[in-house]
Every structure is written in C-alpha cells, then in structure tokens.
Structure 1
Amino acid sequence: MATYCFDGTFTGLLSCVFRCFQFKEFDVNVTANSKSQNGLFDDFIEVASNDEHAQRVWQGLKQKTSANSLRNFYYSFLSEKDEAFQHCLNFAIYVFQSQKPIDRNFGHVDVLGISQWAKQVGREKHRMEAFVRFKKCKDGLFLSLVRPDFNVLPLIEKHFKSRYQDQKWLIYDEQRKFGIYYDLDTVHQIEMNAHEIDTQLKVGHSQNFSIELDDDEVLYDQLWKDYFNSVNIKARKNMKLHIQYVPKRYWRYMNEKTL
C-alpha cells in the first residue's frame, strides 16, 4: 500500500487528494511525518504542495458538500493528527466518487471521523477563547502565551479581533512557534525565535516589541485575584465539577490560578 507524505499544510493535504485521482490510487495512507513508515514494503511517496491542484480539489469539495462538511474537514486538518488526515483524505475520495450528497451519512467511518475530530478541535477553540489571558507590556502590547492541544490560532483570530479592537495584542503558540498579532487594523501571522521570547518579539523585519511587563500589570493581576476570591463561595466548592469545566491544563493561563 502506498503512503503519501505531505508537508503538514492544508495545501499539501489537498494535493494528496489530487494525486489519488491523478494516479487512480484510492487505497493509500497519508502522513505529515516524513519519518513515518507504516510497513516494510509500503511505497513511501512525498507529495509536494501544489496551489493549483489544491484549489481544484477545494473548489470541487465546495460544489459537492455542505458548508458544515467543509468546516469539519478544515477543523479535522487543524488537529494535526495522522488519523484525522487519513479521515480527510478518505472523506474527499468518498465525496468525489459518490453521485449523491453524503454529508449526513454517519454510517461511513470517514464522515463520522471528521465530524468527531471537528468536535474536539471546536471544543479547544472555544476553550482558548474563554481562557486566554493577556499581560500588558510596557510598550502597550497585550501578550498571551498559549499551548493548545490543536492548531486553533487560525480559528480564534476573528473572535479576538472583534472583541479587542482598540488594543494591540499578540497570541503566541509556544508549541508551534508562531502567533497572531493585531496592529489595530489587521491580524498578521508571525514567527519568532523561541530563544528570544524573553527579550523581544519580532514582527516581520522592521518592528520590535519589548515584552517587559507594564508597571501596573502586577497591580491589575492582584486586583483580579482579590475580586475572584471575594466572589468565590468556599462552602459551595466542588472541585470535581470545576475541573470538568476548567481542566487543569488551562490553569496556567489564568491569573486566579497562580500564586
């Protein structure tokens, strides 16, 4: 069985779908890990990202599936898991080989699969929107360092741009080493050297931001903790339920959870 390896981009995944039909190879594995070998005798094929091929596949999916299925497909891709990539590839093949809409055929393993992965990614998106906390830097930039389970930064930028239109902010994914930066006009995707994160943030090639905290940030931090403690009813404390709604892995973002 052939194994397609792509570069981990959305264009790359769609290019794998194009190649399946180009060479009539429909029973294939797909991975974003170039070191992955599923079997000793597998044909390991590196598929280059091709914008034209990817665009043709995406336009074809738009014509044959609903907006909800396209959303599920994209959300599944953002999980960055090979299992989800496989469901996406198989789903696209199923769509193009079917003569009728298959969006709600949850009896098919891949239709169900992308729906389940989309739910997980969507849940992480909503939690990031709820639990992200910003620190104010001396230059006026509001900074948040996050480490989500999935690559949800492309999904949350609309929420934060709408909510915080009057301030510059940067949400940086420590695990994936990129961030989204809002300059009061547009949201930009940026990358920076992780070793320099404690000294400066590089945006493009011309802008530098010091991330030394604003003098009032410690005061605001303490005021929020005092407010949280004052409204907390200790007699009604239910830690089990609390962890269910606010898992411990998100506590690192929350001022009230730090000493």
Structure 2
Amino acid sequence: MENPKILIYDGSFNGFLTTVFKVFEEKIEVTNIQRNTENQKGLFSEAITVFTQMDKARRVWNSIQNKSNAAIKSIYFAFLSESKGVELLLYQYIRSMYANPDEERIDDIAEIILKIQQQSRMVAREKHRIEAIANFTISKDQILFSDVSPGFDVLPLISKHFRTKFKGQEFIIYDRKRKYAIYYNLYTVEIISLELSAYHNKEVISQTTLKYLINNKLHSQYTNKPQMGYINERAAV
C-alpha cells in the first residue's frame, strides 16, 4: 500500500480545486493539503506539488455547484477564512458528497461540516462588516480608493456590493494585510498584487494618479506570466 500524500498547491482557490480534481482522478490517499508557503509536515508522507489548471478547477466547481449551491458557497467562504487545516476539512467534506452508499463513512463528518459552516458564517459576517466600514477617497484621476484590513480574505467577495453602490465609477480596494487589491475598471474586476500601504493618507491619494500605478502593474503581470481567471463571487450572494 502506498504511503499517503501531502498535496502542495499555490494558495489560490483555483489551486485548491485543481488539487481536489487530481486527488479524485488519481485516487490519491491524502494526509494533508498545504499552501506552498507552509512548512511541509508528515514524516511518512510524500509531497506532491499541484499546478493550477483552470479547466480542472472549473470542472470541480461546476460539479459541486450542480449538487448544491449551499455547499459551494460554504466551501468557498470557509476557504477564504484561511484557517489552518481548512483545505483538508474541505476535501473531506467534498469527498463525502461523492461517496457511494456502500463506501465507508468518513469519521467525524458531522463535526467537519459543522466547522466548515462556522467558518463560512464568520467570513460572511466579515464581508458585510467591510462593506459597511470601507471609506473611500477620490484620486487625482477620479478613481475611488479604500484601504482595509479584514480579518479574513474577503476582497474577492465584496466587489459586487461596490459595483452596485458606485455605478459607473472605477474603484480600488486594497487589503493592507495581504498586500493585494481589487480594481474595477467599469468592465471587469482585476486582482492585483500590489504594495499600496503608502497611500493610506487622503492628501496623498488626492494627488496621485492611481491608474498609472495600476496599469504599470497590470502590464508587468500580463508580460511576465500568463493570466489566470478566478472563480469568485458567483457563489457569494
């Protein structure tokens, strides 16, 4: 019997879904699923690196969503909690959804589902809190800017709220804790890894051409590596 494996992925939700696809496709016995920023642990476990593939991630997303809209929402929100060990819990939950009636039941599945639901609710509360407290300043080039520091990774969930609130208006929301921003350009929402900590002062923002900074960063991203779409708030509301 092969040793159980630790699966290492890039930390993105699409990376996690790709990992789930690989586990099911190759019938891998899993001992843990870890982000590539974590220390690998498992004395008798072999580590396998999984590279994100959008087509495989989308297949897993669509399959779960077809089974249950409530489940895909809980899975996505719980993932954004960034809780230690959440990936393994989510994998076990997903596995239980596809188990055959005669297959051995996963130990403590009821407790696992409860933990996922609790984490999902915490993320939902944080989403609404950030939507309520985010303050915006307008930049020199008329882009609304807000910097926030949410307890959970909720930026992918909040753009719909602000697109509705600020119709016909470009905006940037920056996560100080995770050092990335969402940018709405009136057509799409871009996720940008960007250091904007120096722009928390209203006077600085009002004198800054934010689009120049954003376009330079986006150009660098498009030039240096292939862009990858992300599965985001389709399950958030």
**Is the Cα contact below 8 Å between 2:32 and 2:88 reproduced in 1?**
yes
Q: Deviations over 1:77-133 (max 9, x none)?
A: 112233221211111111111459xxxxx9622222221110111011010011111
Q: Deviations over 1:39-58 (max 9, x none)?
A: 32321221111223222222
Structure 2 residue identity aligned to 1:56: R
Structure 1 residue 206 displacement after superposition: 9.0
When normalised by structure 1's length, the TM-score is 0.68
5+ residue gaps, structure 1, are 101-105, 208-259
Say whether residues 1:44 and 2:47 are aligned partners. Answer: yes
C-alpha separation in 2, matches of 1:138 and 1:128: 24
Greater relative contact order: 1 or 2 (C-alpha under 8 angstroms, separation 6 or more)?
Answer: 2
Note closer, same or farther for the CA distance 1:164–1:194 as it changes in structure 2 (3 Å cut): closer
% identical aligned pairs:
34
C-alpha separation in 1, matches of 2:217 and 2:81: 32
Superposed CA RMSD in Å reads 2.6
Pair member with larger Rg:
1
Note closer, same or farther for the CA distance 1:183–1:33 as it changes in structure 2 (3 Å cut): closer
5+ residue gaps, structure 2, are 103-107, 219-237
Say whether residues 1:203 and 2:217 are aligned partners. Answer: no
SS of 2:98's partner is: helix
After TM superposition, the structure 1 = structure 2 runs for residues 63-212 of structure 1, keeping only pairs within 5 Å, are: 63-64=66-67, 66-99=68-101, 108-194=110-196, 197=199, 201=210, 202-205=213-216
When normalised by structure 2's length, the TM-score is 0.74
Say whether residues 1:21 and 2:24 are aligned partners. Answer: yes
Structure 1 range deviating more: 19-28 or 127-136: 19-28
* Count of paired positions: 201
Note closer, same or farther for the CA distance 1:185–1:4 as it changes in structure 2 (3 Å cut): closer
Note closer, same or farther for the CA distance 1:183–1:16 as it changes in structure 2 (3 Å cut): closer
Structure 1 residue 185 displacement after superposition: 4.7
Structure 1 residue 60 displacement after superposition: 2.0
Note closer, same or farther for the CA distance 1:117–1:165 as it changes in structure 2 (3 Å cut): same
Structure 2 residue identity aligned to 1:58: W
